[in-house]
């Protein structure tokens, strides 16, 4: 296995805009190792989400190579990229993206159903994941009955329940108040330590930045700074 | 696939009223479809049974120059037969005649039939029991149109074998109630012996009706039509009615399917983020297409359940109590009973279910195909138009 869990090699991503093109990522070179708690930071439009989407095999680079878990994203078929996401990647979205007709339990269980896990395995794993995020008593609630913070914690449980190697979190605190934002990040930080899962954030939230071990600064699609940071023991 | 069904079920139940409206319309189309076909099948069965019992018997010989659809052939459309050669056959001689009820003039078909015959359900035995000069039986419709009642006498005029007019009173000794207009409307039934006597056409017949135990043999000068041949025309008429009826329930089904199609299109548009989330969680695009297709086709499964809930008692009631037909329904010229009992066969029900499920699956799949071309990033952002 490659030493790097994620390897981005001269990745460029261009989108058609009107008659021309918009370059979202320009010759980006990055590597991430297992267990990192890293963030891609930068202003809106700097290419953070695009980079995360490529790493998450939801999108492909126009040029360059993105290798995730030893798989070249550009060369994966739809089926292979679905399998990569299902087994190795967890996603946390800005607006949680919980499935509205399912209960909290069922939302978290979903990824395991796709992995054909048995009902007893699923139940055990889901309850454990809900315990991680402190929502074991809300298993039967529907997403509409949850607060923003609770919704995002369900999203974390959903991303973590299958114990993926990498969790990609796109602006996970953007819709949360400061207290909830800190609680969410602290939860992820704990899981990062406990399970050695690689967390990769796209954010411009300073509350998140305070927890990161590494910050990759993007501007106009280019990496302008890549810094390692001393861990702070932030307490809200 | 099991997953798709589980998810589809949850999504449908979670959609609440929208789901139940679609299911309601589809189940209604489904019940109407089965009911209408059951009604036609019931009518078909009843019409065939009645036609065999009252008109066709188990086959017919027609004198070769007689065409039942051409009244001009009646005059000469008869021939002599040998009594010992017609085992299992009942002769009928048809002559044109006129009756004068209440001073009005009515053209009738004067039909002579063996009073002892048992092949047709006509109450011919009463012809033998009467002491009247010319006892006659007529059908309910004929009695109504001629304003005749049992025991009435009415003047009958006919031509004998030489073409000479003759007239005498006939006595109505029985009025029968049957569903076959061809043996009722404009028909006067008398004993064939009496008809031979008054026309001088002894041993002549226009047609010979086969009984159940008749063993077919060709007869020179007579054309044979089997029971199947005779029923074919009836089957064709009923098949035609079935086809025209299918347009009605086809439209109803189309409305239900259009509702599912619209729901699917709207659902795919509104649930883009959900679709993106499914893909992000590890479903392939075709799995999501499958999920939405199953979701749409599950309307038909739910419609089957809902339709069964009110359809089965309804069908049972209809099959037991029948449907009363309008008094003038038999003006269409084929036999219609006063009450028709619909027949709901397994084939009809299973066929209807398959038709509805396949149709619902197709109309669900058509819009769902779009998902296969979706960019998951755009879907997650809800940016697709």
Positions of chain A with pLDDT under 70: 1-3, 231-236
Q: Are residues B102 and B242 in the same domain?
A: no
Q: Would an 8 Å CB–CB cutoff place A97 in contact with chain B?
A: yes
Nearest CA distance, B299 vs chain A (angstrom): 17
Residues B97 and B170 in one domain: yes
Give pLDDT, residue A1.
45
**Residue A58 in contact with partner chain B when CB distance is under 8 A:** yes
The alpha carbon of B171 is separated from its chain's Cα centroid by a whole number of angstroms, namely 36
Q: Which residue has the tokens 């299973």?
A: B350
A78 contacts B285? CB cut-off 8 A:
yes
The 3-state DSSP composition of chain B as helix, strand, coil percent (nearest 5) reads: 55, 20, 25
Yes or no: say if A85 and A56 are a contact pair by the CB < 8 Å rule: yes
The Cα–Cα gap between B204 and B94 comes to 10
Task: Using CB atoms, pick whichever of B282, B284, B285 lies closest to residue A111.
Answer: B282
Give yes or no for a contact between A92 and A161, defined as CB atoms under 8 angstroms apart: no
Residue that terminates a domain, selected from B203, B225, B247? B225
Domain co-membership, B322 together with B342: yes
For residue B10, which residues of chain A lie inside 8 Å, CB to CB? 101-102, 106
Please give the pLDDT value at position A234. Answer: 46
Selection from A54-68, B30-44, B76-90, B317-331 with the highest mean pLDDT: A54-68
Residues of B in Cβ contact (< 8 Å) with A56:
280
How would residue B270 be classed by pLDDT, with cut points 50, 70 and 90? confident
**Which residues in chain A are contacts of B292 at CB distance < 8 A?**
none
Report d(CA B102, CA A71) in Å as an integer.
103
d(Cα B119, Cα B89) in Å, to the nearest integer? 8
Do B205 and B249 lie in one domain? The reply is: no
Pair (B8, B98) in one structural domain: no
A135: Cβ contacts below 8 Å, ≥ 6 apart: A104, A150, A153, A154, A157
* CA-based nearest residue to A30, from A220, A236, A217: A217
Question: B78: Cβ–Cβ under 8 A, 6 or more apart, which residues?
Answer: B63, B66, B93, B94, B201, B204, B205, B206
Same-domain status, B214 and B280: no
Determine the 3-state secondary structure of A117 from DSSP: coil
**Inter-chain residue contact B14 with A101, CB threshold 8 Å:** yes
Pairing assessment for the beta strands A214-219 and A37-41 based on DSSP bridges: parallel
* Complex confidence, ipTM: 0.90
Whole domain around residue B140: which residue ranges? 60-225
H or E element in which residue A75 lies: none
Q: Within an 8 Å CB–CB cutoff, is residue A111 touching chain B?
A: yes
CB contact under 8 A, A82 and B287: yes
* Residues on chain A touching B15 (C-beta within 8 angstroms): 101
Tell me what the mean pLDDT of segment B295-317 comes to. 91
User: B218 and B255, same structural domain?
Assistant: no
Give yes or no: residues B75 and B164 share one domain: yes
- The residue from B194, B210, B225 where one domain ends is B225
Residue B59 backbone class (left: φ over 0; alpha: ψ -120 to 50; beta: rest): left
Number of domains in chain B: 2
Question: What's the pLDDT band for B330 if we cut at 50, 70, 90?
Answer: low
Q: B284 to chain A: which residues are within 8 Å by CB?
A: 78-79, 82
Element (H, E) at A56: none
Q: What distances in angstroms separate CA B323 from CA A215, B38, B39, B335, B342, one per listed residue?
A: 80, 11, 9, 15, 8
Q: What phi, psi does A198 have (nearest 5°)?
A: -80, 125
Strand A20-32 to strand A198-203: parallel, antiparallel, or no bridges (unpaired)? unpaired
Cα of A34 vs its chain's centroid, Å: 14
DSSP characters for B213-247?
A: T------TTEEEEEHHHHHHHHHHHHHHHHHHHHH
* Chain B residues within an 8 Å CB radius of A87: 282
Least confident of A84-93, B19-28, B195-204, B309-318: B19-28
The CA distance from B268 to B368, in Å, is 7
Q: Give ∠ CA B215-B218-B221 in degrees, rounded to 5.
A: 135
Q: Are residues B209 and B71 in the same domain?
A: yes
Contacts A115 to B, Cβ<8 Å: 282
B376 touches chain A (CB under 8 A): yes
> Residue A236: its pLDDT value, please?
37
Q: What percent of chain B has pLDDT over 70?
A: 96
pLDDT surpassing 90 at residue B84: no
- Point out the residue among A79, A93, A110 whose CB comes nearest to the CB of B284: A79
Shortest distance between the Cα of A14 and any Cα of chain B, in A, equals 14
Q: What is the pLDDT of residue B332?
A: 56
Is residue B244 domain-shared with residue B113, that is, in the same domain?
A: no
Tokens of B150: 């049992």
Contact B380 A58 (CB under 8 A): yes
B91-142 pLDDT tens trace: 999 999 999 998 899 999 999 999 999 999 999 999 988 889 999 999 998 9
- Residue B84's φ and ψ, nearest 5 degrees, are -75, -5
pLDDT in the model for residue B154: 95
Measured distance CA(B383)–CA(B385) in Å, rounded? 6
How many other β-carbons are positioned within 10 Å of the β-carbon of residue B352?
24
Tally the residues of chain B.
385
pLDDT at A204: 86
Task: Compute the distance between CA of residue A147 and CA of residue A126 in angstroms, rounded to an integer.
Answer: 20
Whether B380 and A59 lie within 8 Å, measured CB to CB: no
Helices (H), B52-147: 125-129, 140-146
Contact A97 B287 (CB under 8 A): no
* pTM score, whole prediction: 0.71
Is A101 near chain B, with CB under 8 Å? yes
Same domain, B13 and B67: no
Same domain, yes or no: B79 and B160: yes
Closest C-alpha among B360, B364, B253, B303 to residue B24: B303
Q: B225, B241, B269 — which closes off a domain?
A: B225
To the nearest whole angstrom, how far is the Cα of B287 from the nearest Cα of chain A? 10
Q: Which of B13, B281, B378 to mutate to test the interface with A (most CBs of A within 10 A)?
A: B281
Q: CA–CA separation, B287 vs B96, rounded Å?
A: 76
């Amino acid at each position: 296995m490659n030493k790097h869990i994620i390897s981005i090699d001269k990745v460029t991503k261009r989108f058609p805009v009107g008659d021309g093109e918009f370059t979202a990522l320009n010759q980006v070179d990055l590597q991430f190792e297992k267990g990192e708690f890293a963030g891609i930071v930068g202003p809106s439009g700097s290419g953070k989400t695009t980079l995360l989407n490529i790493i998450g095999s939801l999108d492909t680079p126009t040029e360059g190579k993105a290798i995730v878990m030893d798989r070249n994203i550009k060369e994966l078929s739809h089926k292979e990229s679905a399998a990569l996401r299902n087994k190795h990647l967890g996603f946390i979205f800005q607006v949680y993206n919980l499935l509205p007709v399912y209960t909290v339990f069922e939302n978290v269980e979903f990824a395991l159903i796709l992995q054909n896990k048995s009902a007893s395995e699923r139940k055990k794993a889901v309850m454990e994941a809900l315990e991680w995020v402190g929502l074991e008593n809300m298993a039967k609630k529907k997403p509409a009955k949850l607060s923003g913070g609770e919704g995002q914690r369900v999203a974390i449980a959903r991303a973590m329940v299958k114990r993926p190697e990498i969790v990609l979190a796109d602006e996970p605190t953007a819709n949360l108040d400061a207290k909830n934002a800190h609680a969410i990040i602290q939860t992820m930080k704990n899981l990062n330590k406990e399970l050695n899962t690689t967390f990769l954030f796209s954010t411009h939230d300073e509350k998140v930045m305070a927890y990161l071990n590494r910050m990759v600064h993007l501007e106009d699609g280019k990496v302008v700074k890549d810094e390692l940071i001393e861990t702070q023991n932030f307490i809200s | 696939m099991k997953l798709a069904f589980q998810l589809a079920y949850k999504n449908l139940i979670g959609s609440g009223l929208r789901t139940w409206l679609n299911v309601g319309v589809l189940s209604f189309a489904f019940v109407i479809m089965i009911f209408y076909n059951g009604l036609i099948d019931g009518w078909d069965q009843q019409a065939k049974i009645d036609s065999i019992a009252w008109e066709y018997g188990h086959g017919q010989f027609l004198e070769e120059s007689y065409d039942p659809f051409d009244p001009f052939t009646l005059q000469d459309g008869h021939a002599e037969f040998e009594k010992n050669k017609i085992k299992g056959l009942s002769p009928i001689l048809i002559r044109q005649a006129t009756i004068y009820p209440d001073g009005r003039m009515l053209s009738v078909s004067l039909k002579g039939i063996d009073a002892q015959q048992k092949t047709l359900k006509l109450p011919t035995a009463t012809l033998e029991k009467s002491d009247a000069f010319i006892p006659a039986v007529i059908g309910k419709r004929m009695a109504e149109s001629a304003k005749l009642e049992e025991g009435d006498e009415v003047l009958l005029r006919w031509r004998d074998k030489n073409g000479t007019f003759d007239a005498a009173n006939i006595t109505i000794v029985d009025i029968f109630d049957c569903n076959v207009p061809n043996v009722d409307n404009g028909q006067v039934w008398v004993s064939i012996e009496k008809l031979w006597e008054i026309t001088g056409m002894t041993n002549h017949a226009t047609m010979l009706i086969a009984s159940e135990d008749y063993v077919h043999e060709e007869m020179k000068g007579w054309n044979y039509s089997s029971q199947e041949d005779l029923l074919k025309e009836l089957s064709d008429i009923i098949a035609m009615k079935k086809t025209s009826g299918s347009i009605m329930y086809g439209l109803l089904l189309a409305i239900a399917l259009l509702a599912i199609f619209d729901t699917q299109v709207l659902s795919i548009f509104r649930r883009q983020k959900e679709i993106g989330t499914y893909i992000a969680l590890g479903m392939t695009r075709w799995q999501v297409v499958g999920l939405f297709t199953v979701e749409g086709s599950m309307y038909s499964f739910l419609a089957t359940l809902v339709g069964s809930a009110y359809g089965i008692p309804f069908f049972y009631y209809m099959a037991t109590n029948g449907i009363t037909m309008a008094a003038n329904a038999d003006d269409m010229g084929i036999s219609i009973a006063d009450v028709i009992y619909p027949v709901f066969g397994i084939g009809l029900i299973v066929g209807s279910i398959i038709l509805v499920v396949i149709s619902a699956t197709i109309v669900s799949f058509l819009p769902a195909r779009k998902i296969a071309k979706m960019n998951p990033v755009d879907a997650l952002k809800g940016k697709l138009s």
